Amino acid sequence: MIILHWTYVIAIVVSLLAIGVAVWMSIWVKRIASENEKVAEIATLIKKGANAFLKREYQILGIFSLILFVFIFLFLPKPIWQSEVGTSVHPFWPNFAMGISYLLGAAFSAVAGKVGIDIATIANVKAAESAAKGIKPSFMAGFRGGAVMGMAVVASCLLGVTLVFLVTYSWTGNARVLIGFSFGASLLALFAKAGGGIFTKTADISADLVGKVELDIPEDDP
């Protein structure tokens, strides 16, 4: 039986509030008028490239996560063929719960990353166009665009941890399944960050080469 303690309620409410704030800020940024067609065209190309990369990266990480899920299911918290001493509980269920918790952590992390990519590609062009109107409009566009990602990360982590703890601890009295959630969220974020860094550095080098070779732009030219 799930016991809904008041601390769980606070955590869930705070998570939903963070999601609401993120949605509001995202809508606010998207409503900024785009007047420069060239800037909007470039932003569209950047968004398509980023989404294509993210789709391919998530496909690879998805396969990797499923393979790791099998290993977690077989060996954590203990090998599935070994029964608990002094208890009739078969390790299938604790191991399965650990694996599902791991996949949930990875899924929540992936959603936060997707939200970040989408809002970043939009906020960039909005901040650039708002700069023509002054420092404050440009700052607010960039700040609120970045805050969407921050809110998404906090909300997904807090909501995911709360739900996993609420379900598993209420049923089993054991909170170690949270290890799987933390591992899944951290591992996917780690590889996504590494892959994203490689992608952005490649794009930077490509732009540098095009500028030097095609347009004869000197090194570090302002």
Residue 166 lies in a domain: yes
Give the model confidence (pLDDT) of 147-175 as tens digits.
998 898 889 889 988 888 888 776 666 77
Residue 215 lies in a domain: no
Residue 114 lies in a domain: yes
Please, which pLDDT band fits residue 2 given cuts at 50, 70 and 90? low
Give the model confidence (pLDDT) of 177-213 as tens digits.
888 888 888 888 887 777 677 767 776 777 677 766 7
Q: In the 8-state DSSP scheme, what is residue 133?
A: G
Give the model confidence (pLDDT) of 15-57 as tens digits.
999 999 999 999 998 888 877 777 778 778 888 888 888 888 8
Residue 221 lies in a domain: no
Q: How far apart are CA 16 and CA 119, in angstroms?
A: 19
Length of the chain: 222
Closest CA to 182 of 145, 201, 207, 156: 156
Q: How far apart are CA 68 and CA 199, in angstroms?
A: 24
Is the pTM of the predicted complex or chain greater than 0.85?
Answer: no
* Secondary structure class of 87 (helix, strand, coil): coil
Residue 219 lies in a domain: no
Residue 212 lies in a domain: no
Domain hosting residue 197, numbered range: 10-202
Task: Please state the domain count of the chain.
Answer: 1
Residue 217 lies in a domain: no
- Helix, strand, coil shares of the chain, percent, nearest 5, are 80, 0, 20
Give the model confidence (pLDDT) of 66-91 as tens digits.
999 999 888 877 777 776 555 556 66
Cα–Cα distances (Å) from 220 to 128, 208, 214, in that order, read: 21, 10, 16
Q: How far apart are CA 65 and CA 159, in angstroms?
A: 21
Asked if residue 14 has pLDDT above 60, the reply is yes
Q: How far apart are CA 131 and CA 80, in angstroms?
A: 59
Residue 122 lies in a domain: yes
- Mean pLDDT value across residues 112-138: 85
